[in-house]
Amino acid sequence: MKKTITIFFFILICSLFLYAQESETKIPSLQNEKWWGAFVAKGSVMPWKDTPTLLDLHNQNFNNQTVPLFLSDKGRYIWCEKPFQFTVKDGDIYIKTAPQNIELVNGGSTLREAYLAASRSHFPPSGKLPDTLFFSMPQYNTWIELMYNQNQQDILDYAANILRNDFPTGVLMIDDNWQKYYGNFDFKPEKFPNPQAMVAQLHKQGFKVMLWVCPFVSPDSPEFRELESKGYLLKKKGSHETALIHWWNGFSACYDLTHPQAFDHFIKQLKTVQEKYGIDGFKLDAGDVAYLSGTSFDSYQKDALCVDHSQKWAEVGLHFPFNEYRACWKMGNQPLVQRLGDKDYSWNALKLLIPDMLTAGLLGYSFTCPDMIGGGQNSAFLNVGKFDELLIVRSTQVHTLMPMMQFSVAPWRILNESNLAICRNMAKLHVKMGPYLLKYARHSAQTGEPIVRHMEYEFPHQGFSDCKDQFMLGEKYLVAPMLTPDAGRTVRLPKGKWKDDSGKIIHGGKTIDITVAPDRLPYFEKIK
């Protein structure tokens, strides 16, 4: 680490600053250079080679986190404080943006050195973690089981079934539509006759409880009128009228969190919820730039872009150790729980989890959960006649040796006893690995290094730049889950001695073929 830091500071003196004009700025790749960056949700197409269309960090996030950063396996990185448009052609990056500094920095000779150099300069580690329970116990989200019918009895039944089926306790997230309406933070009395008692019971059972919230406010409500009178809501462009924004749940006003008093007011509302109901934290959803377009309305911060609104929304979570986000702008190495965007219930979606998680780590989002087990797209679970049980099992296994794992669809409802036992054992393996996961979470908080690491990050220049179906968990474990309905897969082992999940010693520096029974999660411990 000291050597890397020394190299960085010597090379930084020679850093190149490219001044982007309205015209296109080309950043040519070095020979065989590979690039990662910009969009977490585009991890499956990285390293970048070609983009079919112009991509825009101003108003696109593809349902996930974004960062104005590219990293190369030759040790270089590109950074810009503001969002920009770009294309990639034959590995060369073409940036279109308003006049502002685009930094091209040589931070070393590897992907790891590029990341650490960028992190130190632009998103240094905070030294802080979200609550440690996220790394040691599973999460359970009520979304897929209840969708918009969140209610006290079914939530208590869901928790009871977790215990009845011998799954570990952990964090229980109550999803959207628990509240009277958006902007209000009281439980629906017709759905929750005694929310304080519900939360107290969940706590007694060993759960921490989180609530879904968003920055939107239902129009023509008492809260809307109060916030409008105080100037706490976003306004139509060039008007004093409150803007109504079309998002996935209809039309709503939105908090202007660039207004310091509006920001403080929102924090106060959430803390009141905590005190009133005993809530531990919040799932903070709907911070997507697609809905917060800075060209559509005026805000307290006159020059605010849509990404600035997304960033302010993310800053809310810094006040609550129990938090979760799906959309963020920058905010790398902050104590915020990130989750991959909602995926379909499909094998194709399962293949996206590892490359997206790898990209999240490279963009500074180490404290990340790979969506919900089986997928978080509620529509994909409607009218399913017979579930593909193996898909649910393999999805569970992908989550097991990630920093976090999150159940939503109830495995005890859709799986036979044999497959349910596999998922139960995987949840318990995650708990068993909790001390190791927490060790590397703390390491990440201090150094910025990812917990889930690209093979190229850990074993530079050994032919792993295009490896997307396995990963390193910290420095010790190589994890190679099944991502297809097949009975086996290949694993690329780096040089050295490795011990597999059965205790067998294997000499690396080669590709091996393995048979993977439904109850097996292949992982390999680095011996030396």
> pLDDT by residue for the chain (528 residues), tens digit each?
434 343 343 334 344 444 444 568 899 999 999 999 999 999 999 999 999 999 999 999 999 999 999 999 999 999 999 999 999 999 999 999 755 789 999 999 999 999 999 999 999 999 999 999 999 999 999 999 999 999 999 999 999 999 999 999 999 999 999 999 999 999 999 999 999 999 999 999 999 999 999 999 999 999 999 999 999 999 999 999 999 999 999 999 999 999 999 999 999 999 999 999 999 999 999 999 888 776 678 999 999 999 999 999 999 999 999 999 999 999 999 999 999 999 999 999 999 999 999 999 999 999 999 999 999 999 989 989 899 999 999 999 999 999 999 999 999 999 999 999 999 999 999 999 999 999 999 999 999 999 999 999 999 999 999 999 999 999 999 999 999 999 999 999 999 999 999 999 999 999 999 999 999 999 999 997
Strand partners, 323: 282
Last residue of a domain, one of 410, 440, 470: 440
CATH of the domain at 389: 3.20.20.80
Query: By the 8 A CB rule, do 253 and 224 touch?
Result: yes
The answer to the question of residue 469 being in a domain is no
Question: What phi-psi label fits residue 30: left (phi over 0), alpha (psi between -120 and 50 degrees) or beta?
Answer: beta
Which residues span the domain enclosing 111? Answer: 2-122
Strand partners, 37: 70
CA angle (108, 112, 115) in 5-degree steps: 85
The answer to the question of residue 313 being in a domain is yes
Q: Are 326 and 435 within one domain? A: yes
The answer to the question of residue 57 being in a domain is yes
| Placement of tokens 């706590």 in the chain | 203
Instruction: Pull the structure tokens for residue 56.
Output: 């825009």
Q: Are 42 and 137 within one domain? A: no
Compute the half-sphere exposure of residue 393: CA atoms within 13 Å on the CB side of its CA: 22
Q: Are 383 and 429 within one domain? A: yes
CA–centroid distance for 177 within its chain: 22
Q: Are 194 and 325 within one domain? A: yes
The answer to the question of residue 521 being in a domain is no
**Burial category of 40 from C-beta neighbours within 10 Å (exposed 0-12, middle 13-18, buried 19 and up):** buried
Sign of CA dihedral 387, 341, 180, 268: positive
Query: Can you count the helices (H) and strands (E) in the chain?
Result: 16, 30
pTM of the predicted model as reported, rounded to 2 decimal places: 0.95
**Burial category of 190 from C-beta neighbours within 10 Å (exposed 0-12, middle 13-18, buried 19 and up):** exposed
Looking at the 3D structure of the chain, how many domains does it have?
A: 2
Element spanning 412, H or E: helix 411-414
Instruction: Pull the structure tokens for residue 143.
Output: 């979304």
pLDDT per residue as tens digits for the range 20-74: 445 688 999 999 999 999 999 999 999 999 999 999 999 999 999 999 999 999 9
Instruction: Pull the structure tokens for residue 524.
Output: 């390999």
The answer to the question of residue 138 being in a domain is yes
The answer to the question of residue 110 being in a domain is yes
CA angle (83, 89, 95) in 5-degree steps: 25
CA distance 427 to 430: 5
CA distance 318 to 312: 10
